[in-house]
Amino acid sequence: MNTGVLKQRIDKWLFFARVVKSRSLAAKLAAGGRVRINRDKIDQASYGIKTGDVITITLDRRVLIYKVLELGERRGSFPEAQLLYEDMTPPPDATAQEAKLLAEKRDAGSGRPTKRDRRATERLKQSGNGFDDI
């Protein structure tokens, strides 16, 4: 019985939307439990998605949140792939990035950091905003 709702495999959609480089990597991502559809964790590459679904993808150091606008037919160029989804990923926290840049910036030729410098850098990285302990 066909309900008339078009669905597409999640691994195909991730490949068509250029989230990953190959369809086999997309299948591993889905099977590894690193993809959620409408807040439900999936564990199959064959899971069917439809337009309107919200997909949360956990990559190495970031989390992507996409709303499916269209189902893909082929892997096209990047501008074509961007038409398949609406990016709902929140922007990164600016204060944490500034603190990280300040902690890692050293004058050229200043040599190796001392133990005190390394501890201060670690405190900056762990404190969140970077300005609590200094």
| Full DSSP string of 28-66 | HHHHTT-EEETTEE---TT-EE-TT-EEEEE-SS-EEEE
pTM listed for this prediction: 0.68
Domains present along the chain, CATH in parentheses: 8-87 (3.10.290.10), 94-127 (no CATH)
What Rg value do the Cα atoms of the chain yield, rounded? 21
Residue 34: count other Cβ atoms within 10 Å of its Cβ: 16
Report whether pLDDT(133) > 50: no
The percentage of residues in the chain with a pLDDT greater than 70, rounded to a whole number, is: 80
Tokens of 12: 């195909």
Residue 17 and residue 85 in contact, taking contact as beta carbons nearer than 8 Å: yes
Spatial neighbors of 113 by CB under 8 A, at least 6 apart, are 106, 121
State the pLDDT confidence band at 114, using cuts at 50, 70 and 90.
Answer: confident
Residue 85: strand, helix, or coil: strand
Residue 66 and residue 52 in contact, taking contact as beta carbons nearer than 8 Å: no
What are 53-105's pLDDT values in tens digits? 999 999 887 899 999 999 999 999 999 999 999 999 988 776 666 666 666 66
Residue 59 and residue 72 in contact, taking contact as beta carbons nearer than 8 Å: no
Average pLDDT over residues 3-7: 78
pLDDT at 96: 63
